[in-house]
Structure 1
């Protein structure tokens, strides 16, 4: 579904992502892990079009994303969440999802909401809230939700775009143990429904239990790729996380 070929991003003399290549297979859950500063979020920004490649190529569902803006990439079928949750804080939970639905056809927040209200998309929005277990909170103002529910709201809003691939950028960060377990189950449900998931996560227990495969970045370079158990025991990965005695 997603082909990454020698993707690089330079900021002046700093190489944040350096010739990274791998594939994301449809219907799987692939984790991108690595120590702080490894280039993970920069990589997500490249995939979602938030920043352009310096060199290399990204191909999604057979189409190169070169030169496409974030909304154009989203329309191809890539949804995304962020490390720092970014709801439309003064809108209700339901309105946040309606804004996501409207974004399939409109360019601004207000036009998205007007479009959906005028065409009675509330049932679709409520179905997404049910899917993410947020239906009891549909009338709550988004900024009043606790972090665990905000993480779910970001996923619901991303799903409103009807993506084929969803990027989860540290969606488990800051959650309690029970909240994290519930979110693991939600991600598994999404995969069971046919969604492809690419996630960044620091919690190794979560990635080991949730992901089919892992890609490890360190200082912008891919140092390992494979099934979780093999990656966990890779000496290069151990050295990247724990340091080397050399």
Structure 2
């Protein structure tokens, strides 16, 4: 579904992502892990079109995304969440999801809300809230939600784009153990519904138990790729996380 070939991104003399290559299969849950500063979020920004590649190629279902703007990438079927949760705080939970629905038709927030206030779109938005266990908060201003529910709202808003691939950028960060377990079940249901998931996560217990495969980045380079139990025992991965005596 997703092919990454020699993807690189430079910021002046800083190499944030360096010649990263791997594939993501349909309905796979693939984790991108690595220590702080490894280039994980920059990599997500490349996939979602938030920043352009310096070199290399990214293709999604056979279509090259190079040169596309974020909304064009989203329309291909790639949705994402962000490490820092930023809902439309003054809008209700329902309106936040309606804004995601409207992004399928236009790029203006207020125009998208006007378009999507019809009965059919309201029903679709409420279905997404039910799917993410947020329906009882539909009239609550988003700014009033605690972090755990905000993480779910971000996922609901991303799902409103009807993505085939969803990028989850540290969606488990800051959550309690019970909130993490509940979110794990939600991610599993996304795959059961036919979706492909690419996630960044620092909680190794979650990544080891949830992901089919892992890709490990360190200082912008891919240093390992494989099944979770193989990656866990990889010497380069251990060194990247814990340092070495050399």
- Relative to the length of structure 1, the TM-score reads 0.99
Matched with 1:171 is: 171
- CA distance in 2 between counterparts of 1:61 and 1:147 reads 34
- CA distance in 2 between counterparts of 1:103 and 1:39 reads 28
Task: Give the deviation of 1:230 after TM superposition.
Answer: 0.1
- CA distance in 1 between counterparts of 2:76 and 2:224 reads 29
- CA distance in 2 between counterparts of 1:94 and 1:19 reads 41
Task: Give the deviation of 1:152 after TM superposition.
Answer: 0.1
- CA distance in 2 between counterparts of 1:215 and 1:129 reads 31
- CA distance in 1 between counterparts of 2:6 and 2:28 reads 22
Task: Give the deviation of 1:130 after TM superposition.
Answer: 0.7
Task: Give the deviation of 1:86 after TM superposition.
Answer: 1.1
Deviations 1:64-84 (A, max 9, x none): 001100000000000000000
Task: Give the deviation of 1:118 after TM superposition.
Answer: 4.1
Which blocks of at least 5 consecutive residues in structure 2 are unaligned?
Answer: none
- CA distance in 2 between counterparts of 1:56 and 1:119 reads 44
Task: Give the deviation of 1:120 after TM superposition.
Answer: 4.1
Alignment of 1:234-245 (within 5 A): 234-245=234-245
Deviations 1:135-181 (A, max 9, x none): 11111100000000000000000000000000000000000010011
- CA distance in 2 between counterparts of 1:106 and 1:14 reads 36
Alignment of 1:129-144 (within 5 A): 129-144=129-144
Matched with 2:211 is: 211
Matched with 2:128 is: 128
- CA distance in 1 between counterparts of 2:100 and 2:119 reads 14
- CA distance in 1 between counterparts of 2:107 and 2:224 reads 39
Which blocks of at least 5 consecutive residues in structure 1 are unaligned?
Answer: none
Matched with 1:60 is: 60
- CA distance in 1 between counterparts of 2:152 and 2:56 reads 33
Alignment of 1:91-240 (within 5 A): 91-118=91-118, 120-240=120-240
- Relative to the length of structure 2, the TM-score reads 0.99
Matched with 1:20 is: 20
Q: CA RMSD of the aligned region, Å? A: 0.7
Matched with 2:33 is: 33
- CA distance in 2 between counterparts of 1:28 and 1:218 reads 23
Q: Which runs of 4+ in 1 moved over 2 A?
A: none
- CA distance in 1 between counterparts of 2:85 and 2:72 reads 22
- CA distance in 1 between counterparts of 2:189 and 2:76 reads 22
